[in-house]
Amino acid sequence: MSARAYLRCLLGILVREALRFLHQRERFFGALVRPLVWLFIFAAGFRSILGVSIIPPYETYILYEEYIVPGLVAMILLFSGMQSSLSMVYDREMGSMRLLMISPFPRWYLLFCKLIAGALVAILQVYLFLAIAWFWEVRPPPIGYLLALPALLLASLMLGALGLFLSSVIRQLENFAGIMNFVIFPMFFASSALYPLWRIRDSSLLLYEICRFNPFTWAVELIRFALYARVDWLSLAGVALALAVFLGAALLGYDPGRGMLKRRPGG
């Protein structure tokens, strides 16, 4: 097949995901309300806690902006990746996934297009959140909004690949919510999304080690550095490695000859 056919396939999946996102207004508002609640309520308490410590007021604000907001941005990517995977489970139960998979395009390309589409939708939500946060005096350097784009794309692909793998394992739509809770909340709270790693280390060395090797921590740190025009090479390597592992597992899971779908006739 020609390159035009592959491009048309990609555009078709992108348009389908965009229309689905626009029609599901609850998903749109839910994706924004959740981090905004954390920004307006939890972050206010975070400011208050730091304000009574020995940290000067200016550094308190920097900690609030640099540590809370990137964590909330990564939260949007995480929830969006899981929601996109939920739609994969739904499509498989409804039969539309079968129509997609029997197309003449390679299975890996179709799944990657799905992953790209989900990542772009998630990044759109992130920039809407950052636009609202700007009025809350969360204002990274203007160049940071542009430089963060590659980091957001890579982190979103990694988290979306994790969700894609989970969707290949889960057989029924009812089981997905429980699995999401076992994945989302441990990944989010056992990370540097809410507190700096150095503060976690002062509290618990075990929790610090868990957070340090949590792929979600790598995504948070990658976004945090990118927003301020810096590169955390260790986090970049970690996110890239996790993306390769999760995507490889997802491709294997959707392989009807070897993966989880082998036990699901017509899956």
| Contact (Cβ atoms closer than 8 angstroms) between residue 50 and residue 64 | yes
**Pure H helices in 170-228:** 173-189, 197-203, 205-212, 215-227
Per-residue pLDDT at 266: 44
Q: What is the pTM of this model?
A: 0.82
Per-residue pLDDT of the chain (267 residues; tens, 9 = 90+): 677 887 887 888 888 777 777 776 666 666 677 787 777 776 565 555 544 443 333 343 445 556 678 888 998 999 888 877 777 777 666 666 666 666 777 878 888 888 898 899 899 889 988 888 888 777 788 898 999 999 999 999 999 999 888 888 776 666 666 777 788 888 888 888 877 788 788 888 899 999 999 999 999 999 989 988 889 999 999 999 999 999 999 888 877 665 444 544 444
Residue 188 token pair: 């989010």
